[in-house]
């Protein structure tokens, strides 16, 4: 009877030391003895138990039942290898047939992208960076009405003052028009509550 530690048994069985320890804790492998450095296993007995419970262990591994693209975990060492046939060949007009997993993953990615955009828009609306289309139309109509009313009233208000300035020079007319334009801007801003 040859007794070995979990690291050596892992090497013999082609597993990791963690898998061997987990198998001993769950009862899948029986411990022959406990030495100064940890558990010791009988190699022949461990091989028999490992092979006998291999199918049960595979069934208990929930990730093995999931489609390949959904298992998660770390990518393979050296980066994920993409098979050459995963891409459409140049000049090939036939559509690429997607597996159910690829369809699901693409739909899920599109859904997540849409949710992210919706969250971004909601944040911008709350912060006041974006307004709804109808609100912009109402604000534009209000601005137009205010400007139209102010511009329509301007000649009636300005005509008598300009008529009284018959003897005035060009500079005086310019100053009067500039002053009236400033008054018009102030009146429009007050009506729009910009000040």
CA distance 45 to 3: 10
Q: Same domain for 118 and 153?
A: no
Question: Given 130, 145, 171, which residue is the final one in a domain?
Answer: 130
Backbone phi, psi, residue 40, to 5°: -125, 140
| Whether the Cβ atoms of residue 43 and residue 2 lie closer than 8 Å to each other | yes
72, part of any domain = no
Q: Residue 18's domain spans which residues?
A: 3-65
What is the structure's pLDDT at 110?
87
Average pLDDT over residues 136-160: 80
CA distance 56 to 28: 10
Q: Same domain for 35 and 23?
A: yes
Q: Same domain for 166 and 177?
A: yes
| Band of pLDDT at residue 75, cut at 50, 70 and 90 | low
171, part of any domain = yes
| Band of pLDDT at residue 62, cut at 50, 70 and 90 | low
Q: SS3 for 4?
A: strand
Question: Given 48, 65, 82, which residue is the final one in a domain?
Answer: 65
Residue 137 has pLDDT above 50, yes or no: yes
What is the structure's pLDDT at 186?
83
C-alpha closest to that of 38 among 12, 2, 3: 3
Q: How many domains would you assign to the chain?
A: 3
Q: Same domain for 120 and 137?
A: no
Write down the pTM of the prediction. 0.33
87, part of any domain = no
In the chain, DSSP finds a helix count (H) and a strand count (E) of 7, 3
- Give the domain CATH number at 36: 1.10.10
What is the structure's pLDDT at 195?
45
Q: Same domain for 117 and 138?
A: no
């Amino acid at each position: 009877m040859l007794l070995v530690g979990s690291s050596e048994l892992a090497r013999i069985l082609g597993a990791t030391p963690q898998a061997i320890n987990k198998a001993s804790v769950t009862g899948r492998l029986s411990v022959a003895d406990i030495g100064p450095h940890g558990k010791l296993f009988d190699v022949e007995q461990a091989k028999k138990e490992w092979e006998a419970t291999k199918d049960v262990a595979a069934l208990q591994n929930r990730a093995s039942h999931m489609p390949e693209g959904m298992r998660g975990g770390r990518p393979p060492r050296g980066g994920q290898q993409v098979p050459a046939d995963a891409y459409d060949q140049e000049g090939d007009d036939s559509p690429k047939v997607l597996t159910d997993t690829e369809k699901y993953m693409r739909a899920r990615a599109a859904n997540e992208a849409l949710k992210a955009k919706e969250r971004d828009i909601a944040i911008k609306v709350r912060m006041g960076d974006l307004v709804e289309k109808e609100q912009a139309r109402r604000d534009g109509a209000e601005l137009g009405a205010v400007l139209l009313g102010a511009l329509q009233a301007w000649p009636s208000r300005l005509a008598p003052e300009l008529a009284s300035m018959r003897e005035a020079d060009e500079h005086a007319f310019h100053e009067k028009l500039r002053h009236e334009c400033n008054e018009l801007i102030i009146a429009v801003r007050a009506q729009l509550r910009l000040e």
